[in-house]
Amino acid sequence: MENNMVECRNVTYKYENAEENTFSLALDNISIDIKKGEFIVILGRNGSGKSTLAKHINALMVPFSGKVIVDGLDTSDEKNIWNVRNKAGMVFQNPDNQLVATIVEEDVAFGPENLGVEPKEIRTRVDEALKRVGMYKYRKHAPHLLSGGQKQRVAIAGTLAMKPQCIIFDESTAMLDPSGRKEIIKTIKDLNENAKITIVLITHYMEEAIDADRIMVIDNGKIIIEGSPRKVFKEVETMKKIGLDVPQMTELAYELRKEGIDVKDDILSIDEMVNELCQLK
């Protein structure tokens, strides 16, 4: 479909262990659609298949069986690989592993240079990308002297300079302190709302998932719950069973209900909780 950024059809992926001649199933018949402009959060415990799925979306991996289509391009067709990687950029966990140059603006220019973009156009893209993530005034700085959140914003600018339509963040906030995490989440939301970039955010922080358009929960390589944050987090028991948390206020509502206190079961924020508690008789 034209308005789909990503389509996964019966995607299965197995890692091969050549020494033991065994396979481990990492993606088990996954079928999902991600619409253009959507903000998707993927949740799942360690080893559930999140990164493997992410790498399929930007053609770092291709399915064992099934198909991944990115903006109409089949990722298993070799002539599409570079196109797919341009359309779907990726930002990883450790900013230090993603920064390659000794000056911020050179780092951001690295991607488009490799694509063979004209120097004048590169200049424009680098400036635009750095402004977008609020790092323009640091353009002449050395990346290794920046904070974790700032480094990660430079890494995001590097991806933006490739002009992607979709960005996948694979636990890009995991190594940051709370203020760095906030910076990155704010940047990601801006990219989605104002630059209309499709976002796939993989995270272990439930609070970062509250504002998603849709959450997909993956376990053992299968999507087991999918829907709005309210719908997904209501499933407190299922989430706990697979080793995941729910946002603090959803958890509190769950505990209160167990004690017989009649609050809604799909509360996500403090404001909603306060509102509920004030209405109790």
Ligand X SMILES: Nc1ncnc2c1ncn2[C@@H]1O[C@H](COP(=O)(O)OP(=O)(O)OP(=O)(O)O)[C@@H](O)[C@H]1O
> Closest distance between Mg ion and the C-beta of residue 107, in Å?
24
SS (H, E, C) 204-259: CCHHHHCCCCEEEEEECCEEEEEECHHHHHHCHHHHHHCCCCCCHHHHHHHHHHHC
For residues 219 and 233, give the distance between their C-alpha atoms in angstroms, rounded to a whole number. Answer: 15
> Closest distance between ligand X and the C-beta of residue 169, in Å?
13
58 in the Ramachandran plot: left (φ > 0), alpha (ψ -120 to 50) or beta?
A: alpha
For residues 247 and 89, give the distance between their C-alpha atoms in angstroms, rounded to a whole number. Answer: 28
Q: In what order do the strands lie in the sheet with 73-74?
A: 22-35, 4-17, 65-70, 73-74
From the list Mg ion, ligand X, none, pick the one residue 44 interacts with, judged by a Cβ distance below 5 to 8 Å according to partner type. Answer: ligand X
For Mg ion, the closer of residues 156 and 218 by Cβ is 218
Instruction: Scan residues 48-87 and list those touching ligand X (CB under 6 A).
Output: 48-52
From the list Mg ion, ligand X, none, pick the one residue 82 interacts with, judged by a Cβ distance below 5 to 8 Å according to partner type. Answer: none
> Closest distance between Mg ion and the C-beta of residue 223, in Å?
16
Phi and psi of 45, rounded to 5°?
-70, 175
The CA R_g of the chain, rounded to the nearest whole Å, is 20
| Total number of residues shown for the chain | 281
> Closest distance between ligand X and the C-beta of residue 6, in Å?
17
From the list Mg ion, ligand X, none, pick the one residue 52 interacts with, judged by a Cβ distance below 5 to 8 Å according to partner type. Answer: ligand X
> Closest distance between Mg ion and the C-beta of residue 95, in Å?
16
Instruction: Scan residues 30-59 and list those touching Mg ion (CB under 5 A).
Output: 50-51
Interface characters, 15-54, with ligand X (x: CB under 6 A): x--------x-x-----------------x-xxxxxxx--
Given the rule CB under 5 A, which residues bind Mg ion?
Answer: 50-51
Given the rule CB under 6 A, which residues bind ligand X?
Answer: 15, 24, 26, 44, 46-52
